[in-house]
Every structure is written in structure tokens, then in C-alpha cells.
Amino acid sequence: MPIAPKIIERADQQYAAIKANVPIQGLAGLGPRLGEVFDWIAARGIAPAGPPFFKYNVIDMEHELQMEAGVPLAAAVDGDDAIVTGVLPGGRYVTLTHTGHPDGLAAVTGELLDWAENRDLKWDTDETSGNERWVSRLEFYLTDPSEQPDMNNWQTQLAFRLAD
């Protein structure tokens, strides 16, 4: 792994997001939807309180992923028909920062999952109809593409919540 995983404590974090069900092949199409969330919070005079993220809620690799494309906020705000709001739960998270093209995230994620399994760490998940439902499985996009257009230099932080 490029950088060793760490276990950290995260506080509760308010956020705004767009929910989407996407097939694994359509995952790249979710990124541009973050612009809708940024536009929505800007129209309300709200500044982001951190980097944008994808939140993986249900993983069904053969059909579709239930996800959210979101932006952290400093305070709670009500959503509407287009944008949902909520709280990323605090707790213990395993984190890892990947530097490189987003195409490498699947392999890095697999390595992170294996790393945790080899240490008998348990994720905060449950099985729903044979699919993994995650309480909080996040990819934070630390690089602004307008400042760094070379995707090989992008940084993405994985943050997966551990079971209590």
C-alpha cells in the first residue's frame, strides 16, 4: 500500500448530498453531480466544511451501488426534493490516502479491506438481501481538479467506519 492505514476517531459531521443508484460501470458519472451540491449550498450562503466525498451505502457489485455524492457542512441544514442532508457518524475509522488515478481506487480499497480482515477488524455493516449495507464508507476527494488536472496526482482518502 502507498501509505499505511491508520485508525482514527472522527466526530459527527453534517453534510448535504445527492442520492443515486448507479451500476459500477456508471460510477464515474456520479462525480459531476457534486457540482449540483456545491451550487445548492452556495445558493444558501453555506461554505463547505471539508472536501467532497462519495458515501457508499449499499454495495451490490452485480447490480448497482446505493450512494451519495456529498459535501461536509459546519452546521445542520434542511434538505429538499433534490438534496438530502444528514450526519456522517463519528467513531473509529480506518483511513488510507491514495495518491494516483481514480482507476486505482478499486485495488487500493481491496488492499484496505484485506488489511482490516488480517487484523480481525470488523466494519460497521450489515447484510441486507445479500448486499453489504455500510453505516459510513467514504471516499474524500482531497484534490481540486481545477488546480491539479493530472489525475495521476490526485489524492483520495478512504475512511471506513469500524463497528463499536
Q: Is residue 1 part of a domain?
A: no
Q: Is residue 120 part of a domain?
A: yes
CA–CA gap between residue 128 and residue 42 (Å, rounded): 36
Number of structural domains the chain divides into: 1
Q: Is residue 60 part of a domain?
A: yes
Here the CATH number for the domain that contains residue 88 is: 3.20.80.10
Which structural domain, as residue segments, surrounds residue 10?
Answer: 6-161
Question: pLDDT-based confidence at 123, cuts 50/70/90?
Answer: very high
Question: pLDDT-based confidence at 81, cuts 50/70/90?
Answer: very high
Beta strand 53-59 with 65-73 is antiparallel
Beta bridge partners of 115: none
pLDDT at 60: 84
pLDDT > 90 in the chain, percent: 82
Rounded to two decimals, the pTM is 0.93
CA–CA gap between residue 22 and residue 25 (Å, rounded): 8
pLDDT digits (tens, 9 = 90+) for 35-73: 999 999 999 999 999 999 999 999 887 889 999 999 999
Q: Is residue 69 part of a domain?
A: yes
